[in-house]
Structure 1
Amino acid sequence: MIISWNVRGINNSGKCNEVSSRLNRIHPDIVILVETCVKPHKAAEVRNKFGRMWSFKDNYADHNNGRIWVMWKEAKFNLQVVRSSSQYMHCCVTHLNGDMYMYLTAIYAMNTLEQRKNLWHDIEGLHASISGPWALMGDFNNVLHAQDRIGGNMVTENEYRDLEKMLEITDLHEKDSSGGYYTWTNNQANGVIYSRIDHVFGNLSWLQQHVDFNLQIMNSGVSDHSLLCLRKQEDRRPSRTPFKFQNVITNVLGFQESVRDNWNNPITGATAMCRLWKKLKRLQPVVKSLSRTFQGISRELIKARDQLNVVQ
């Protein structure tokens, strides 16, 4: 599974935790995060909050804000950056056995048409060196069709002509999607604008290889951009999850007494570690019983996030 998300900054702890929490629920293998707004000397500190399973590449060498981060799980893939600029990171993704999987180009286009023309020219240059499946994914900051914006100024041909020409030269095609159509909104009560500027494009080889993959436009969460999620249609995670200790349980009336009485009860065991393990096993049903008041708290948190999204 591959996802792309313009997070609109994760330099504050609260937003970073929300982004990390959402990634943990989706379980992607490769993640493209753009507009992280994290300075180079803060990058390691922020990345540690995502967990140790992730490896990272970025384009700080091309732009001092490191506009693009690519994250992947080394337990599943190898990823190498072939070329990069301030607007893209072109990567080669291989299986752990060394077999080619795909070329993946992470995109975060600049704001002006003239700056984006440089990106289209660079993509044409990449096309000349591609042999195999190739996908481009991210925030192109550009509509592709006249109907790709509601509100604001009407879309003119001048806005999408260069992008359209580049796609024709490189023989790239947009991946069909489900879910919402528009991927960005200005979140204004008056003068609201919706537009489709986040895309996934692929060459014929990649589209054929991923014919059983579905591109879902998911809700924006803590950003003003939708999350793009590319995954196999049958890729489903079991809903049942193991018991998880919630800190709020410690505030339950009688928690301290119940834990102390259970823990102080003598137990046999050959070694200290064995006795510790047995005590923890014995304590688990006690804590589970005290946790019933907060059963389903994770689902309630997800529901609250959905309600926040509706309000936004």
Structure 2
Amino acid sequence: MKWLFWNVRGMNKRYKQKEIKLLLQNKVSLAGLVETRVKSNNVRSVLQGIAPGWKALHNYDDSPNGRIWLIWDDNWYEVKKITNSAQMLHFQVNERSKGYQLSLNVVYGLNTVEQRKSLWKEMETLAKGITQPWLIVGDFNAIMSDKDRLAGVPVTNNEIKDLGECVREMGVNELQWTGNYYT
């Protein structure tokens, strides 16, 4: 079983749906997708095209563009949405075969520092009530250090301050990874 997180930058195009479907066929059973750009009336047909028989939860109630989706194979997972906002979905995930449970957040931060302040407050509030393993994935549209920017304008303290404070307040750590840093 594999999990996938992907900033898809639009799933309305057939070629994007084919890419996602190919990735999901590689033993992926749960996926967080952000920047979907799918209208709410097209959710069912797009989901059927990329992951037939899977279930989905999203944030159309808080964001008309449904910026965040979680899709999963119900044979492997039981998923319950706990809370949602324009920038975050929070779930309880139960793996069916081994019985483990975890909290899962899929995040897609808004574009400006000011718009993201509500996300940091939401995350800090959530952290106070979480007592089990917690996985937070997403595109925060924020960085924690200057090494997180590949090119462009030099990083300022204001850009990294809020996310860094939030991470410290929540008491979470960035997971180690292998492979290319920006993939």
Q: State TM-score, norm by structure 2.
A: 0.94
2:20 equivalent in structure 1: 19
Structure 1 window deviating more from structure 2 (150-159 vs 98-107): it is: 98-107
CA deviation vs aligned residue, 1:60-119 (integer Å, no higher than 9, x gap) = 111111101101111111000000001000000013379551000001111100111110
Unaligned runs of 5+ in 1: 183-225, 227-312
Structure 1's 74 and 114: CA in aligned 2 closer, same or farther, altered over 3 A? same
**Offset at 1:12?**
1.6
Return the structure number with greater helix share: 1
1:157 equivalent in structure 2: 157
Share of identical aligned residues, percent? 34
1:69 equivalent in structure 2: 69
CA–CA distance in 2 between the matches of 1:128 and 1:98? 27
SS of residue paired to 2:178? strand
State the one-letter code of the partner of 2:6: W
Once superposed, what is the RMSD of the aligned Cα atoms? 1.5
CA–CA distance in 2 between the matches of 1:103 and 1:80? 10
SS of residue paired to 2:122? helix
Contact 2:76–2:97 under 8 Å retained in 1? no
CA deviation vs aligned residue, 1:100-149 (integer Å, no higher than 9, x gap) = 51000001111100111110110001011111111100111111111211
1:8 equivalent in structure 2: 9
Structure 1's 50 and 164: CA in aligned 2 closer, same or farther, altered over 3 A? same
Alignment of 1:28-39 (within 5 A): 28-39=28-39
Runs of 4+ in 1 over 2 A off after TM superposition: 95-100
Structure 1's 19 and 52: CA in aligned 2 closer, same or farther, altered over 3 A? closer
State the one-letter code of the partner of 2:127: H
Q: State TM-score, norm by structure 1.
A: 0.56
1:169 equivalent in structure 2: 169
1:105 equivalent in structure 2: 105
**Offset at 1:23?**
2.0
Structure 1 window deviating more from structure 2 (165-174 vs 7-16): it is: 7-16
CA–CA distance in 2 between the matches of 1:12 and 1:171? 39
State the one-letter code of the partner of 1:94: N
Contact 2:24–2:51 under 8 Å retained in 1? no
Contact 1:146–1:157 under 8 Å retained in 2? no
SS of residue paired to 1:18? helix
State the one-letter code of the partner of 2:73: K
CA deviation vs aligned residue, 1:138-175 (integer Å, no higher than 9, x gap) = 11111111121132100111101111111111101000
Alignment of 1:78-93 (within 5 A): 78-93=78-93
State the one-letter code of the partner of 1:168: R
SS of residue paired to 1:22? helix
CA–CA distance in 2 between the matches of 1:130 and 1:81? 14
Structure 1 window deviating more from structure 2 (77-86 vs 144-153): it is: 144-153
Structure 1's 97 and 4: CA in aligned 2 closer, same or farther, altered over 3 A? closer
Unaligned runs of 5+ in 2: none
